[in-house]
Structure 1
Amino acid sequence: MNLKDLDVFVSVVAVGSLAGAGRRLGVSAMAISRSLAALETELGVRLMHRTTRSISLTPEGEAFLGHARALLDLGEAARSSVTSDPEIASGTLKVTCPHLLGRAVLVPLLGELQRRQPSLQVELILSDDLIDIVEQGIDVAIRLAHPKDSRLVGRKLSDNPRALYAAPVYLERHGAPGALGDLSQHQGLRSLAMTSWPFMVGDDLRLFPIPGRFACSSAEGVKEACLHGMGLAMLSYWDVEAEVATGRLLPLSLADAEAQNLPIWALMPSSRNVPTRVRLLIDELRQRLQTAPSAG
């Protein structure tokens, strides 16, 4: 079975069009169509319905998709096993990550990785939504909190220290809370999906309803509102590392509670035949994240 034809099939599914897959692979849409036809002829089934505007998988195509991805991973592992340098990464690294963590940590790390690995292509999806990485053909997802999808293989990279933060201008106007009960007298900033701040009081988890009048659909918007002095926000150390270093945001400590820390995980569709590009990313990301302090 021709691995190039398999790559075409998987790419068309990922991108959603023949033309898009052609741009991704650097070939014409006609070449993409020929590869698909050759693969379907070899298998003796129709894998997808395709028009000039859209594609959709047949039941046979849906059943074959996972096997095609596995065969491509196996081919990559076979190439890596005989290369003169097992630290050489090639192919396309497809990774997804939340916006703030991705922009602050992953983008510069991927740039450095590509500088050392000239054959490595990268496709980065920044999204705070839980993307189905199996369906989308993504190599690895960087996620906050414990994984919930039992289909995925998880590797914990680091803790994700969080704290309450505020801009100096807000603290000048309203002062700093000293204890958990003081928070009700302050303006809290939250995402639409988050109605309570999680705190640890000793060994107990306590959810404190977020006071205030501002909510945003994205963590980026919450951080921006915090920078403008609109209120307090619970943010990750990685979200605000640069702003804290320059004094634009200040971490707050409560006498009787600490923000609950959540782990950062790398999630993959399988632990078998992990490509070199994925292994190198995980190793370097773990090393970078472990430079964080234990608290905000």
Structure 2
Amino acid sequence: MKDFSLSDVRLFTKAAQLGGLTPAADVLNVPKASASRQLQRLEATVGHQLLHRGAARFSLTDEGREFLVAAQHVLSILDDVMLNLSGGGGTVTGRLRIAVPHYYGRELLTSHLPDFMAAYPQLDVWVETGKDRVDLARDETDVAIRRGREGCDDLVARHLKSEPLMLCAAPAYLASNAPLESLADLASHAFLGADAEGRKREIHLAAVEKVHRVRVDSVFQSDDLELILQLALSARGIALLPVSLAQPQLGGGLLVPVLPSLTLKPQEINLVYLPARRNSPKIKTFVDYLLGVFRAS
């Protein structure tokens, strides 16, 4: 296997990020003539063309996209290690990218991000909402908040909290549909949830004692819990929601509990990150901070 030049790899990733060799060379203080030679040398080492280059076109090849994911991951790890070994001057810097689901991201982070950002002013924080199953390596995400442990086998998952769940519906929906006295009665109803198997029209309700699989009349599925809430308020079906999200509507009578005797298993909320980056100063700082907040609450 041929050895890679780290400067060549860094130039390639910067060119992919900025959309050209010239801006990448300017940022990295590399002579433009040298930049072209470096890219050619990297492509010769890899054995594939990585970039389409032309007057009107600059884009990654298929091999370039695959190599970029690995290159960014390796460079990120090396930069973190170097910063960690040098002590970082006691200052946490860089860009921290956080991916969060719509509702849980806002509900969990809104109260805590301002204090974190004030404590670490030299750290740039980027939050992307609506991403519950983000690929941390491919999407260059540092940490993610995730519902449940599914898909966490290859990640470090730190438990933040357990969120109680409930079934609820608008009184107008219940008044115009078949009575609901047992799980079997759900079969003639519309279901609104975040984890339903829409094609099969089958829902999985994780109760404390077992997982109930129930076929229903129709299923609407979305990873946006607040959208599910709005559909429930519009009398479009029975919703599976976090109690914290449904509670204000319950208090005002806009929603009512459905099958309240069914005790559902709480939703586990985790903070996840790649094992190889557990010693990254910015990730470690954020993880320790957020865990400390939830342990104290």
1:18 to partner: Cα distance: 1.7
Any conservation in 2 of the 1:101–1:238 contact (CA below 8 Å)?
no
The more displaced of 30-39 and 156-165 is 30-39
1:186 to partner: Cα distance: 5.0
1:279 aligns with 2:284: yes
Partners of 2:274 and 2:164 lie apart in 1 by 26
* Compared CA separation, residues 59 and 71, structure 1 to 2 (3 A): same
Paired position in structure 1 for 2:116: 113
Code of the aligned partner of 2:215: P
1:152 aligns with 2:161: no
* Compared CA separation, residues 129 and 116, structure 1 to 2 (3 A): closer
Deviations 1:8-58 (A, max 9, x none): 644655x5x527x99xxxxx5662587596496299313731445542157
* Compared CA separation, residues 2 and 84, structure 1 to 2 (3 A): farther
1:14-25 superposed matches below 5 A: 17-18=18-19
Paired position in structure 2 for 1:25: none
Partners of 1:53 and 1:243 lie apart in 2 by 53
Code of the aligned partner of 2:264: A
The structure whose RCO (Cα within 8 Å, separation 6+) is larger is 1
1:1-296 superposed matches below 5 A: 9-10=12-13, 13=16, 17-18=18-19, 28=23, 31=26, 38=35, 41=38, 44-46=41-43, 48-51=50-53, 53-56=57-60, 59=63, 62-63=66-67, 65-66=69-70, 68-80=72-84, 82-85=87-90, 88-128=91-131, 130-148=133-151, 150-167=153-170, 177-184=180-187, 186-190=189-193, 193-194=197-198, 195-200=201-206, 203-212=209-218, 215=220, 217-219=222-224, 220-237=226-243, 239-240=245-246, 249=255, 251-252=257-258, 254-255=260-261, 257-286=262-291
Code of the aligned partner of 1:283: D
* Compared CA separation, residues 273 and 30, structure 1 to 2 (3 A): same
Any conservation in 2 of the 1:159–1:262 contact (CA below 8 Å)?
yes
Any conservation in 1 of the 2:69–2:137 contact (CA below 8 Å)?
no
Segments of structure 1 that go 5 or more residues without pairing to the other structure are 23-27
Partners of 2:243 and 2:14 lie apart in 1 by 36
* Compared CA separation, residues 4 and 242, structure 1 to 2 (3 A): farther
Deviations 1:138-194 (A, max 9, x none): 212222222336543333333333211334665677799554344446543245754
Any conservation in 2 of the 1:101–1:239 contact (CA below 8 Å)?
no
TM-score, normalised to structure 1, is 0.69
Any conservation in 2 of the 1:146–1:263 contact (CA below 8 Å)?
yes
* Compared CA separation, residues 259 and 53, structure 1 to 2 (3 A): farther
The more displaced of 31-40 and 281-290 is 31-40
* Compared CA separation, residues 210 and 3, structure 1 to 2 (3 A): farther
Any conservation in 2 of the 1:168–1:250 contact (CA below 8 Å)?
yes
1:208 to partner: Cα distance: 2.1
Any conservation in 2 of the 1:45–1:60 contact (CA below 8 Å)?
no
* Compared CA separation, residues 247 and 6, structure 1 to 2 (3 A): farther
1:233 to partner: Cα distance: 0.4
Partners of 1:240 and 1:161 lie apart in 2 by 11
1:77 to partner: Cα distance: 4.0
Partners of 1:62 and 1:2 lie apart in 2 by 18
TM-score, normalised to structure 2, is 0.69
Aligned length: 280
Segments of structure 2 that go 5 or more residues without pairing to the other structure are none
